[in-house]
Amino acid sequence: MPTNNTPFLRMFLIFLGLLWFDSFTGLEAATGKLASVPGLYVFGDSLVDAGNNNYLAISISKANYPHNGVDFPNKKATGRFCNGKNAADAIAEKFGLPLPPPYLSLKGPFKEEKKKSAAMTGVNFASGGAGIFNSSDHKLGQAIPLSHQVNHWLSIHQELTSQLGPAEAQNHLSKSLFAVVIGSNDLFDYFGSFKLRQKTNPQQYTQSMANELKKQLKRIHDTGARRFLVIGVAEIGCIPGKRAKNSTVHECDEEANTWCSLYNEALVKMLQQLKQELQNSMTYSYFDNFKSLHDIISNPARYGFTDVTSACCGNGKLNADIPCLPIAKYCSDRTKYLFWDRYGHPTEAAARTLVDLMLSDDSQYSSPLTLAQLISL
């Protein structure tokens, strides 16, 4: 008597169909599984610095002391301006990559193998205090401005090309992610300089920031980079240090926030123009850090926070009278605080929340693509 193979055949065909369906580009974002990224290369300021400033001999813009790192593995103060891991680390972990090491940690004798390995999976060039412009911080040896960070990238690009060969290196770079988180310090410079404000109005200054950033993005693109994550400037006027100066009500500094909005508008237009100029050979996700932070501050409970005005680490009004120094006090539950210190650096919990928003299917914060969509192309 012949056996009935229909159930087996049906299951086999379903299995084949699933394999075929899984082969479609972009499925990862739809199913919740992230596409793979071979390397993550990070440019920016203290929001994503992994410790480059530790290697600047005379810089005081460092975070390699307690209470920074209190929640980092082994409670190590690595130079991150955070209680634990920052947004660049969170992005790396989302894609299963090692944390990108600071570029300056790869220089010197006996570092060749470490540099070769990092060149493949990602390097962090960011520097606390850095700006788009070569500011006074650079002249005084306090930070590494964006143009110099790109110079450092050229060294890693050379290493990568020598390892893989030009064709394979190009393939690797076209699939990698280049994250750029910078602009806040240029605005702080503008706020604090009467001379700068006399010389140029806010519209002119923020447009010049966008123009200079465009030059540096083109330099990175020229080496083979194709996927960019560009993060806008947040509500600087709402950081604890700004609120603490605002009489007894501790409201946001709305003038500072207006200047941030001006820059973000110039940035969005610049990115659109750059993509056209490069004949669509670059793709990008712009993340609206201003709107995301505004929404968290407006509805903290939705995101799991209870304090979105004070610094976790500091002292005095809003814990914002002093930086997060060893003599400062720090909060017991860092997961409930949005800000780590008076300068508005996010706590690890806040950084992870922001990265989740970047990867969310909700496109209200990202344009023209979400980060998940960008890396699925």
Of the candidates 199, 61, 51, which has an alpha carbon nearest to the alpha carbon of residue 131? 61
Query: What pLDDT sits at residue 284?
Result: 98
Residues involved in catalysis: 46, 341, 345
Q: Which two tokens stand for residue 308?
A: 């979105």
Q: Which of 1-15, 159-173, 322-336 has the lowest mean pLDDT?
A: 1-15
The torsion of the CA quartet 59, 64, 66, 69, rounded to 10 degrees, works out to 140
Cis? peptide before 368, omega within 30° of 0: yes
DSSP class of residue 327 equals: T
In the predicted model, is pLDDT for residue 13 greater than 90?
no
Helix (H) / strand (E) element for 199: namely helix 194-199
- CA gap 126, 299 in Å, rounded: 30
In the predicted model, is pLDDT for residue 36 greater than 90?
no
Mean pLDDT in residue range 104-125: 95
pTM equals 0.90
Residue 200 neighbours by CB distance under 10 Å? 13
pLDDT per residue as tens digits for the range 70-114:
999 999 999 999 999 999 999 999 999 999 999 999 998 889 999
In the predicted model, is pLDDT for residue 353 greater than 60?
yes
In the predicted model, is pLDDT for residue 31 greater than 70?
no
> Cα 107 vs. chain centroid, distance in angstroms?
23
> Cα 268 vs. chain centroid, distance in angstroms?
16
- CA gap 347, 71 in Å, rounded: 10
Beta bridge partners of 181: 44, 231
Tell me the pairing of strands 307-311 and 337-339: parallel
